[in-house]
Chain A
């Protein structure tokens, strides 16, 4: 009877191994599926026109998303100008001057801001900027995305700065450096790999955000010079074209999805590779 019991336990062991293995394969397989589907549908409809032409009147085939690509780039530029400094400096504060009640509050509020749904950030940017300026603009969209970047920038900066061993800080100060000099010349450079990859990952995440742009940068069929005009953006175009009935627009949506996903995943893969190497070196 003991043998039967053991056999049962061994069977359960094998069965659960298989089941959980399938769960994993399902999860990993989904990514492979998504990538291949987008590749097949998106890459095949990718033309040079897609990258260089403006949208054509509705119902007419042809045209591209040149203005959307540039628009997204401008939005990300503005977002990083806002999100990276505030996030980085805030992270430095928490890592180097932390421990007080104030920094506890800041950390808590940062987590709060991180949890705000992107659509609510869109409402925020709309009420603050669009309504007061009386028009939609790249500025409003960029600032909205920038606010979304802040919490992650803070968290990753703080994490990587904390990971720098205290011995480095103390060594610098023993050599006579002031605290700020120690941080600036020793600690931050030691964490720079992590911080840079953090910025890149942050940008990749925000590049795909659509909701905050719906009522800030709005949309534009043409080029959008400067920062005060509405602008087209890649994720918004995917949304608009995907829910339309036009086959040509569907093809363009796939192409745009492919381009966006390739960019996002490439950044992610590079960032993780850099981080993995850094971890091994730091030992």
Chain B
């Protein structure tokens, strides 16, 4: 035991003084918290496979990913809200070349709540969710909610809304969905990684929202599915376009992707509120934001190799973490697109 401690201490001392092992390549990335559990698993596994490669991913929110990759302070970014045309133009203006979107997995935004005495999954209509987040539905026993949940004992308590305080792709997916299903939301608030929320308090990252809902009685928030699963939180069923109340699932997300239109060349597409009775309405792709040109050849090779691995071996790890794997057509398209990273 002591010997192990001593070798560990020596190793720490060596690493601390900067005596890095041969050719340690550190690649910095930042962005979405939505896929963070998946990415941290992937980068950990990839590091085990290639110990000289370290992908340091900081989950600071999709807004942060977009900003830092544009500023050039990280090697690539990640976001669940694709960069809009203005942001892409900004990037090109700053760097002289463009930025590419690479879908990695698909996931779902789920409503999570913490209401005493409610142990079943609540059903939420689109209008219910919009009303709650607009601040128009203020009590848990509002007719819009009791109508959809005849069996549940909803208290007369105030609803405490929790949203993201940071720039978030999860927010983008949520607000994109609400904009599609509710005219008032679309005109009043709109879609974005950071919006002017009518009500609610802010948590930092998916982690922060989950933490906040856990700690706050009678609250409701939205997080990526795996955060609800890992923390054993109550999730709600959302009514899709076909009128079915669906809980988020891999099948639901995959169905949503399948029923959406043809995948565009730049991979930027929204699959929220997809048609079909099996489609989960608040699903989305999530993307890595990779610059078209990477100056450092070792980094470029490492990133391209990772992308190839991600599209093959990586996809086999998604289901364990409740993310849906990419459709085969998308994978094939992306493999070809990797060549665009110069």
Contacts and interface: CB of A to CB of B under 8 A. Distances in A.
A130 B30 CA distance: 15
Interface core residue of B15, B19, B20, B56 (most chain A CB under 10 Å): B56
Contacts of B203: 243
A60 to B, nearest CB: 8
A67 B56 CA distance: 13
B120 interface: no
Given A131-B73, A244-B210, 19 more contacts: A58-B36, A58-B59, A59-B226, A59-B230, A70-B16, A134-B73, A135-B72, A135-B73, A218-B30, A220-B56, A221-B56, A223-B16, A225-B18, A229-B26, A230-B28, A230-B56, A240-B207, A243-B211, A244-B208
B336 to A, nearest CB: 30
A50 B156 CA distance: 45
Nearest to B232: A245
Interface string B28-55: 1010000011001101100100000010
A244 B18 contact: no
A68 to B, nearest CB: 12
Given A52-B9, A66-B12, A131-B71, A243 B207 contact: yes
Given A59-B230, A245-B214, A222 B26 contact: yes
Contact of A244 (B44, B73, B211): B211
Given A59-B37, A134-B72, A221 B20 contact: no
Contact of B16 (A73, A230, A245): A73
Contacts of A48: 5
Contacts, number: 91
27 contacts: A48-B5, A52-B12, A57-B37, A57-B40, A58-B37, A59-B321, A70-B15, A130-B73, A134-B71, A134-B73, A135-B72, A135-B73, A135-B74, A136-B73, A219-B58, A220-B58, A221-B40, A221-B43, A221-B57, A223-B15, A240-B207, A243-B203, A243-B208, A243-B211, A244-B211, A245-B211, A246-B207
A71 to B, nearest CB: 9
B210 A225 contact: no
Interface of A is mostly: loop
Contact of B28 (A57, A73, A136, A227): A136
A230 B43 CA distance: 17
A226 B54 CA distance: 15
A74 interface: yes
Contacts of A220: 56, 58
A187 B286 CA distance: 65
Nearest to A133: B73
A63 to B, nearest CB: 10
B16 A222 contact: no
Given A136-B28, A219-B58, A221-B57, A57 B41 contact: yes
B12 A70 contact: yes
Contacts of B72: 134-135
A245 B26 contact: no
B208 A225 contact: no
A245 B36 CA distance: 14
Nearest to A222: B54
Given A225-B24, A229-B26, A246 B230 contact: yes
Contacts of B204: 243
Nearest to A130: B73
Contacts of A224: 26
Interface of B is mostly: helix
Contact of B44 (A57, A70, A136, A240): A57
Interface in A207-243: 218-227, 229-230, 240, 243
Interface in B6-26: 8-9, 12, 15-16, 18-20, 24, 26
A259 to B, nearest CB: 15
Nearest to B8: A52
Q: What 10 pairs across the A-B complex have the smallest Cβ distances? A: A245-B210, A244-B207, A57-B40, A225-B20, A245-B211, A226-B18, A223-B15, A52-B8, A245-B231, A70-B16
A75 to B, nearest CB: 12
A221 B203 CA distance: 22
B17 to A, nearest CB: 8
A109 to B, nearest CB: 30
A24 to B, nearest CB: 32
Interface string A239-263: 0100111100000000000000000
Contacts of B321: 59
A243 B227 CA distance: 13
A134 B9 CA distance: 33
A244 B203 CA distance: 9
Interface in A114-133: 130-131
Nearest to A53: B8
A230 B26 CA distance: 10
Interface core residue of A131, A218, A245 (most chain B CB under 10 Å): A245
Contacts of B111: none
B130 to A, nearest CB: 25
Contacts of B26: 222, 224, 229
Nearest to A134: B72
Contact of B205 (A221, A229, A243): A243
Contacts of B37: 57-59
A135 B71 CA distance: 9
A146 B99 CA distance: 36
A56 B40 CA distance: 8
Interface string B181-211: 0000000000000000000000111011011
